[in-house]
A and B are shown apart, each in its own frame.
Chain A
Amino acid sequence: MELTRTLLVTAVSLLAAALAVLFVALLVERGVRDWRFARTRRIRALYRPAVDAWYGTGGSASESARVLAIPRRHRAAVAALLVAPLEALSGEIVERCRELLEQLGMVDEWFRGLGDRRWWRRAEAAHYLGLARVLRASADLVALLDDEHEEVRASAVSALGRIRDPSTIPVLVSQLHAPRAQRVRVIGALRDFGPAAAAHLARYGGEQPREKAHVAGALAAIGSASVIGPLLEWSSDPDATVRAASLAAIGSIGVDDRAYSFALQALSDQSADVRAMAARALGRSGRADSADHLERCLDDEWLVAAHAARALKQLGPPAHRHLERRAAQAGQGGELARQMLWEITSYA
């Protein structure tokens, strides 16, 4: 009994001490954070006019000199102010800003940051190098795609998209389905490259048949007419997923005469997904002569019928007549037709 009591008294004392320590830690943490926050805000307020003036004069020599005169210990904060607008800027001002950042020594600092042991420093360095479009960072950023931390890899991907070094497109394309890469970020980066990336992607899909469906999905997001040819080829692939993804991509990019006939043919595909994507593509073709075929699809599986109904709505007044005819009937086709007609009249 006495032992239990002693143990309990010890436990109570330890708990009380732990509580007191944690409580003090809580208050100290709050104090330190408040102080650091106030300091950062003060420094930013101090130098923001200089940065605004620099951008206001298009990066004039006199304003650059003013920025370069800022004490070394505050340069990181100033660099953060300088790169923030680069998110939405392009052209000569970006080059000037990069030169200024080079002179401030920040670019070298970020290069060093790429090798920092703390992942968030590496991610931040990659982010800044991307914003400043530092072309010579491409190789280091490509190396960072194998970083152990996911966010660093993702930052490197986004940075490469901003820098737009054509030599890095194949690496980015190969990242598209790397299990360790964030697809959303890779597609975002590839889109920054425009048609050049689309051609690489199409070639990659041709070389990696198992990746065709995913590549077609990416092409739909990036969108470039130059890849319609390979997509049409893939729309006859033995794999229904590839056929559906290809037709979806064609629908997103744009339907020319050749694609139109492929899509019409695909309306009789065995797979409902393929038929649905074919109907979707036809809706975006602007060719009202497909309306007869689409109207027949209103009795197909719901997914196909829904896409066909929407396509008829998109094809304009000649196709709307088909909807009007079906709207008088009962069943799925009639219901969808009525919905589309309602949308046409309500949202016209």
Chain B
Amino acid sequence: MRERLAAAVVGFEIFVLVYFIALNTLYLVFCVISFFRLREHRRRWTSRRLDAVLRSPATPGISLIAPAYNEEATVRESVRALLLLNYPDFEVIVVNDGSTDGTITALRAEFGLIAAPMAHAQPLPSQPVRVVYRSLSYPDLVVIDKANGGKADAINAGINAARHPLVCVIDADSLLEEHALTRAVLPFLEDPDTIAAGGIVRVANGCTVEAGRVSDVRLPSSLLARFQVVEYLRAFLAGRVAQSALGSLLIISGAFGMFRRDALVAAGGFLPETIGEDMEIVTRLHRLYRERRQPYRVVFQPDPVCWTEVPESRRMLGLQRNRWQRGTLQVLAAHLRICGRPRYGPVGLLAMPYYLVFEAAGPAIEMSGYLVTASALAFGLIDWAMAELLFIAAVLYGGLISLASVILEESSFRRYARAGDLVVLAGLGILESFGYRQLTTWWRFRGTIDFFRKKRGWGAMTRKGFISAGP
């Protein structure tokens, strides 16, 4: 009996090992692909070439949509920073999604808003719009005050009011780079078949923020936030750049995404009932264009365009990861039929299987790996020395991927000016295997359970706020 149990445990351990090697090797391949893509990208769009684009009369206008819910404390500065973006033709549409605090009052006072008649077409359904405000001082600012319906619903209301062919969806508390729109619009200029483009979201914790712009890039002081810096580098610079190169990009971050308005309208807009609305809309766009057999492109623009505050407390981070996991599972469940079908190209053959095996099933496999290993060690079913070797290999392989991501950052955008920051980031790639990785796996595992228990909702998030450069 004991031998059989030991054989079963070893068999399971081998399965987990193969799974782990496959996941990390895949990421290593992503890193290699990204390295070449980023090198190409860096040489491609220098600032003087951006200028050529900005001078052209054919550069399209952009409607920037910022849904806001209870953002009273930060909304003034955020909107002011948005209005100062460097782009020839854009409007800012702030959608107040039924905030219960003084968001709308703050906006009215700051920008001299007055109620304007609402006369735009309503191709997408949304909760009733109460008032549309315009600013006399800022003609390109539109504020929509509507009944609460969630982020997706607010975005839909913004899309309805958008008057430009491109819409850029951001979070109201996102900090954009001055040339964010110029850089994000490039894929649409390169290829008119582009329907959506995402940009890199970076961690703003620890950075100095001046007039709504990140002026000094530094690592956060919180260890949790530091781990997330490495995670974001790995996810964006290695993961999404490579997925975009393979034509299998499924996520455009809700913090910053640019879309063709007509494509969003054709797809029916964002789905209000989803948690992972950013992944859902991209997946639906893929499906729509594949089924219509229309040429299209969904790409990732690796320039740093957007900075966001990440959670620094375990509770908030846990809520976030739980929500992300539920969102991923929700989207995968809704679009499962495209998985493995050649008709859907790389999305059906690469992206969906990847998300199913590594993102959806990952936490359950990893958690069971930890539990089985711990139990087997306790009952003497496997050798301690072997377990130690496996763990060291796992730590080193994980660290290698993280270090490769830091190198990608250093060889492309190099936003961390201090050499010490690089050393810290490289070290964090090793350190994250000692607790942080297990914690995130646990939160994601809880998210999986919550998904099957049909738990909905976002969970209340609180933010610490950015470090200001002073008055």
Contact = CB atoms under 8 A, between A and B. Distances in A.
A197 B80 CA distance: 40
Given A4-B386, A11-B393, A188-B56, A27 B419 contact: yes
Interface of B: 43-44, 48-49, 51-53, 55-59, 114, 116-121, 134, 136, 139, 189-190, 192, 383, 385-386, 389-390, 392-393, 396-397, 399-400, 403-404, 406-407, 410-411, 414, 419, 422-423, 426
B58 A346 contact: no
A158 B422 contact: no
Contacts of A191: 56-57
A171 interface: no
A146 B55 CA distance: 24
Interface string A1-38: 10011001101100110110011011101100100000
A70 interface: no
A191 B397 CA distance: 54
Interface stretch (A44-52, A224-232, A260-268, A302-310): A302-310
A120 interface: yes
Given A155-B49, A302-B121, A23 B136 contact: no
A303 B121 contact: yes
Contacts of A339: 116-119
Interface string A110-143: 0000000001100000010000000000000000
A22 B119 contact: no
A139 B457 CA distance: 63
Contact of B422 (A5, A27, A87, A150): A27
11 contacts: A8-B389, A15-B393, A26-B406, A127-B48, A158-B52, A183-B192, A188-B53, A221-B57, A332-B119, A339-B118, A347-B139
Interface of A is mostly: helix
Interface residues of A, number: 52
Contacts of A335: 117-119
Given A22-B400, A336-B119, 17 more contacts: A8-B390, A11-B393, A22-B404, A26-B422, A29-B407, A87-B48, A87-B51, A127-B49, A183-B189, A183-B192, A185-B189, A188-B52, A221-B57, A306-B119, A338-B119, A339-B119, A346-B114
Contact of B58 (A18, A188, A336): A188
Contacts of A187: 56-58
A30 B422 contact: yes
A182 B419 contact: no
Contacts of B419: 27, 30
A151 B49 contact: yes
Contacts of A303: 121
A5 B386 contact: yes
Contacts of B422: 26-27, 30
Contacts of A1: 383, 386
Contacts of B116: 339, 342-343, 346
A342 B58 contact: no
A120 B43 contact: yes
A218 B386 CA distance: 69
A308 to B, nearest CB: 12
A33 B118 CA distance: 54
A309 B119 contact: yes
Contacts of A196: none
Contact of B134 (A5, A29, A346): A346
